[in-house]
Amino acid sequence: MKLIKKNIFNTLFIALLLIVIFVPDAKAFLLKGLMEIGFYRPKIEETATESPGLKGIKFSDSKGNTIDLGDLRGKVVFLNFWATWCPPCRAEMPSLNKLHSEFRNNPNITFIFADADGDFAKSTKYMSDRGFAMPVFKVDANVPEQIFSG
């Protein structure tokens, strides 16, 4: 009887581990929980670098409206590259939605949530299915590696 109980727990543990590894929503849920309790804090190195010229770096939304980063000089620009298949991206979306809701009417702040895949159908469905009100954009011009990599 003890052997059966021991194997049940091992089997459940392995099943949960496989779910976390292979199901993006499960991994996102786990990462979100770990970030909320403060156990998981990604390290971000702050380095002072010269930013490249921003003129010509363009993003467009599903309606064809275009934003050129060079035209946003003097504004705070929140630029987030994300993908529907990315577990860390999915984990941070509820917090980013809250941030966007709080500051979306501020004329000095612009939010650009750029779908790394440029698939409006998939990304807008993802946002609407989860009740997120963030605007989705795709990249219209090459983004310098310095900006894309953070």
- Predicted confidence (pLDDT) per residue in 113-128, tens digit: 999 888 888 999 999 9
Local confidence band at 94 (pLDDT 50, 70, 90 cut-offs): very high
> 7 pLDDT exceeds 90?
no
Architecture of domain 58-148 in CATH?
A: 3-Layer(aba) Sandwich (3.40)
Other CB atoms closer than 10 Å to residue 94's CB: what's the count? 15
- The predicted pLDDT at position 8 comes to 83
Asked if 124 and 62 count as a contact pair (C-beta separation under 8 A), the reply is: yes
- The predicted pLDDT at position 102 comes to 94
Query: 2-22 and 24-37 are packed helices; what angle lies between their axes, rounded to 10 degrees?
Result: 90
pTM for the full predicted model: 0.65
DSSP letters spanning the chain: -HHHHHHHHHHHHHHHHHHHHH-HHHHHHHHHHHHHHTS----------PPPP-TT-EEEETT--EEEGGGGTTSEEEEEEE-TT-HHHHHHHHHHHHHHHHHTT-TTEEEEEEETT--HHHHHHHHHHTT----EEEE-SPPPHHHHT-
- Predicted confidence (pLDDT) per residue in 11-63, tens digit: 888 888 888 888 888 887 887 787 777 776 666 676 655 555 667 788 888 88
Least-confidence region, from 94-103, 122-131, 135-144: 135-144
- The predicted pLDDT at position 98 comes to 93
- The predicted pLDDT at position 52 comes to 58
